[in-house]
Structure 1
């Protein structure tokens, strides 16, 4: 049996050295319980955390004090986390940003990365996963997932990508995928398969 080498777990004492001199972190999420829990966990790891519960609040904080690090939920009550990414990138181009979402799909991940996010993590992501993504060095290889996507998930991701490319137009997406519009609507109404 081949043993898989795993990186040593990040300890809270060592975290401060890995973060760098600017420890500012903006967390934007509309799930208050998750937001507060993550903020406490990241403070324990050495970050100077600011929180925002909406796109408007996130943009306002990004404009007044652009952070060195950011963790942004993609879907917020008042809009898209991509708007916060753009606002941060407009003020500071060295910000290390991670996008979190419970509604992951490849199209939005690609958009987030194009706008400057380093990584895209599906909720629930724990603080250690987020920290590892934030401190990852450019060009560093990420370990492949132990549980790769199922065929159903890959299909769902493809449908979501085409749907986003068609600007969320169900009829056009159905035409391009050569499927009935109602079938597509049923697929889109379901959560992503595991």
Structure 2
């Protein structure tokens, strides 16, 4: 590629970071406890609202359609935004379903019930071999569903969503 601006489709990212390390910022409550300043010299992918605590990621992933309305300016600041088809902007990827794994993102991706799983497939597709999650808690703390506080839409996750998410993340790690 002659420049970053030439990277406009998911196929442009295949193997682009072969053998490299990636830090992925999820949105769990523990993210608020971390000093993220050492990441300034690293390749970082943010998920959903992680830009509220660390806006300078190289990549960003968002499945949540609400965030395009809630934070349009912050979303547009992402260097590269991976999202699902039908979102207002970003690099679109077709959603194939909830459970499964995609090695070829040109055909689509599986949600795994969480943006963290979608991001894992993108990271592997890009060639990263060491993938480190920060803030991937799969539990709430002191009434906080996320590092920024509480999201009403996540209040039932411990009972309904976390078991499915855990299953898929274990599948993806194998």
The structure, 1 or 2, with the larger RCO (C-alpha pairs under 8 Å, 6+ apart) is 2
Bigger Rg, structure 1 or 2: 1
User: Does TM, normalized by the shorter one, top 0.5?
Assistant: no
TM-score w.r.t. length of structure 2: 0.30
Higher normalized helix content (fraction of residues): 1
